[in-house]
Amino acid sequence: MNSPVKPTLNHGHTLTSWDMDLRQLCDTELLLNGAFAPLQGFLNEADYRCVVEGMRLVNGQLWPIPITLDVTQPFADRLEIGQKIALRDPEGILIATLALESIWIPDKRKEALNVFGTDNISHPAVDYLYHHAGEVYLGGTLKAVELPQHHDYRQHRHTPDELKAAFKKLGWKRIIGFHTSSPMHTAQRELTARIARELEASLLIHPATGMAQAGDAGHFTLVRCYQYLLAYYPEQSTMLSLLPLATRMGGPREAVWHAIIRKNYGCTHIIIERDHASPDANDCNGETFYQPHDAQQLAREFADEIGIGIVNAPKMVYVQDRTEYVAESEVRLGETVLDISGAEFQRRLRAGLVVPEWFSCSEVVNELRKVHPPRHRQGFTVFFTGLSGAGKSTVAKALTVKMLELGGRPVTLLDGDVVRKHLSSELGFSREHRDLNIRRIGFVASEISKNGGIAICAPIAPYAATRREVREMVSTHGGFVEVYVATPIEECERRDRKGLYAKARAGLIKCFTGVNDPYEVPERPELQLDTSGISPDECAHQVLLTLERQGFIKS
Ligand code: PPS
């Protein structure tokens, strides 16, 4: 929790501390190691405005993406321009100090529209801006104390200076950088090898792995996939380096940003693909956020100014008749082109179906299969929410028994009362305390789901925003099924097993949900149940059917 406490620094000074989240930590690392040159810190207000408006700093230098330090209003309220702030990683280690130059409330809508071209929250960066980023921005220059530590794949970790020195030592003069943030399949391998060959350049495979959490199996899988692929390239002219960049998926502006970063790492060229840095999701009209060539065009426009060659990657397709990949424009009339879409590839992985070698090498596919088991072997969370007395606990218990009868995965019941006894005994029922309680449940549920188990949670969880947080927390690791137990308050009150409604009506309990405290009805739960007329067993059966429909249990 960030609070303006005044810890003692190792130098004996006392400074206000900010505990950075993962994205801020990534940004800080790249600000400190020179990857974000010419930036020397988080943008101040004047630079921020210029960047949002016109992709330039006040001094005219090109910079397309606002790198800002967002904080909460209560934290900002206690700050003064000119003071120094200690920036810490999520474990509390002091990474840098910020000399505070500006504090301001950004116009987030304008930022979203100008930078990402949309304010639709299906865009991940807009969602982050609206739902995660604090309401106040801080700007100022940074002074390094200690670069963030990476204990994983140290042989593939380099600062810009280290990478430039390595290129020099190897005698590489022409270096082409390839940006990716997902597994590379044969098409990308053929594409990068071909471009490097044609340009007579060495190849830097430079995946952005910034948002990978320590202990995140997906990250290790991804890097193992890149390592397998290295064997297919000429050893003397190919290098893999992990870039701790938190991508925004900002399409054209992001492509310019990637080009500046690769220039800072010593690349002479960068490959920009079609749909470079475009989100997978579409907007509310089902349209993609950017046109396929937008990123390539904008990056080209600024290539000279950045001092890097932009290589527009052609779309590579597999021609069955020639058993090879060629650029789409080179396909001859009558030739058969084979393709497997991303969605189809995911389906095959999950269903354990064959993926042909022409699409992806077997080592990569086997590696990915380990982290994409079929749904019926993945962990998941069933999250019941509803008023006190709605029947959440009873149905959750019945469901727990059914899941145990099915067997195969460990089952943990996190009932509201039980959690309050063992995890949250010090908490009351203020909004702040309820949120903390639900976040704790979400954390435990996400750990259980991550490790392939089933978490069944049954708190009231009255607030939509906190439920959404839990959904996000769990969904990165496993399935999330929200069950709204929609038993009407009249029925809950009639039951009043604990006599709490009577006490609340008598004014003896102050913030009682549904009586004198709000319950925000879920808008899109996976299942809605009213326990008024049906038995707990029947309700649990309905949940089972939902789980079956979604593939989490086998029929
Ligand atoms: S929350 O809002 O999700 O944190 O609540 P939760 O942890 O599920 O705890 C709800 C149980 O606590 C009892 N209780 C109250 N509920 C709501 N409001 C107030 N003020 C309150 N005080 C005590 C109540 O028995 C709830 O249990 P259930 O099983 O839901 O009836």
Exposed e or buried b for every residue in 415-446, given b needs 16+ CB within 10 A? bbeebbeeebeebebeeeebbbbbebbbebbb
Measured distance CA(283)–CA(153) in Å, rounded:
36
Parts of the chain belonging to CATH 3.40.50.300: 375-549
pLDDT of amino acid 554 = 85
User: Cα(434) to centroid of ligand 1, in Å?
Assistant: 9
pTM of the model: 0.74
Under a CB-based contact definition with an 8 Å cutoff, are residues 456 and 382 in contact? yes
pLDDT of amino acid 215 = 56
Measured distance CA(252)–CA(267) in Å, rounded:
19
User: Cα(517) to centroid of ligand 1, in Å?
Assistant: 11
Which residue's alpha carbon is at the smallest distance from atom 24 of ligand 1?
A: 388
pLDDT of amino acid 11 = 44
Q: How far is CA 524 from CA 393, 483, 545, 555, in A?
A: 21, 10, 17, 25
For residue 386, give the ligand 1 atom closest to its CA: 30
Report the SS3 class of residue 191.
helix
Residue that has been written with the tokens 């004014």 in this structure: 507
Among candidate residues 439, 441, 443, 400, the one with its CA nearest the CA of residue 419 = 441
Q: Quick: pLDDT tens for 139-181.
A: 999 999 999 999 999 999 999 999 999 999 999 999 999 999 9
Measured distance CA(307)–CA(263) in Å, rounded:
7
Measured distance CA(123)–CA(282) in Å, rounded:
8
* Fold entry, domain 154-243+249-371: Rossmann fold (3.40.50)
Among candidate residues 50, 76, 46, the one with its CA nearest the CA of residue 63 = 50
Under a CB-based contact definition with an 8 Å cutoff, are residues 511 and 517 in contact? yes
The total of other beta-carbon atoms located within 10 Å of residue 356's CB is: 13
> CATH assignment of 375-549?
3.40.50.300
pLDDT of amino acid 488 = 96
Measured distance CA(121)–CA(118) in Å, rounded:
8
Tokens matching residue 134: 């604090």
Which residue's alpha carbon is at the smallest distance from atom 18 of ligand 1?
A: 512
pLDDT of amino acid 372 = 77
Parts of the chain belonging to CATH 3.10.400.10: 16-144
Parts of the chain belonging to CATH 3.40.50.620: 154-243+249-371
The percent of residues above 70 in pLDDT, for the chain, comes to 97
Q: How far is CA 446 from CA 3, 12, 172, 433, 454, in A?
A: 25, 39, 45, 20, 10
Residue 385: which residues within 8 A CB-CB, separation 6 or more?
392, 459, 460, 461, 462, 467, 482, 483, 484, 485, 522, 525
DSSP letter (8 states) at residue 313: P
Mean pLDDT value of segment 293-315: 97
User: Cα(177) to centroid of ligand 1, in Å?
Assistant: 55
On the question of pLDDT at 7 being above 70, the answer is no
Give the start-end residues of each E strand in 366-488. Answer: 380-386, 411-415, 454-458, 479-485
Dihedral angle, C-alpha 46, 47, 52, 57, nearest 10 °: 140
User: Cα(460) to centroid of ligand 1, in Å?
Assistant: 6
On the question of pLDDT at 453 being above 50, the answer is yes
Dihedral angle, C-alpha 209, 210, 214, 219, nearest 10 °: -20
For a pocket test of ligand 1, which of 395, 420, 429, 433 has the largest count of ligand atoms closer than 8 A to its C-beta? Answer: 429
On the question of pLDDT at 2 being above 70, the answer is no
User: Cα(87) to centroid of ligand 1, in Å?
Assistant: 37
The H or E element containing residue 400 is helix 392-406
Mean pLDDT value of segment 5-12: 44
Report the SS3 class of residue 502.
helix
pLDDT of amino acid 251 = 96
First to last CA, the chain: 43
Residues in the ligand 1 pocket, defined by CB under 6 Å: 388-389, 393, 416-417, 420, 429, 434, 437-438, 459-462, 498, 500, 509, 511-513, 517
Q: Domain 16-144: which CATH class?
A: alpha beta
The H or E element containing residue 85 is strand 84-88
Which residue's alpha carbon is at the smallest distance from atom 21 of ligand 1?
A: 512
Among candidate residues 480, 222, 554, the one with its CA nearest the CA of residue 372 = 222
Measured distance CA(440)–CA(447) in Å, rounded:
11
The H or E element containing residue 370 is helix 362-371
Give the start-end residues of each E strand in 128-194. Answer: 136-144, 175-180
For residue 497, give the ligand 1 atom closest to its CA: 31
Band of pLDDT at residue 214, cut at 50, 70 and 90? low
Which residue's alpha carbon is at the smallest distance from atom 29 of ligand 1?
A: 388
Q: Name the H helices within 200-341.
A: 217-230, 251-264, 294-301, 303-306
Which residue's alpha carbon is at the smallest distance from atom 9 of ligand 1?
A: 416
CB burial of residue 72 (10 Å; 0-12, 13-18, 19+):
middle
The H or E element containing residue 471 is helix 464-475
Q: What does the angle CA 83 – CA 244 – CA 290 come to, to the nearest 5 degrees?
A: 100
pLDDT of amino acid 5 = 42
The percent of residues above 90 in pLDDT, for the chain, comes to 85
The total of other beta-carbon atoms located within 10 Å of residue 544's CB is: 19
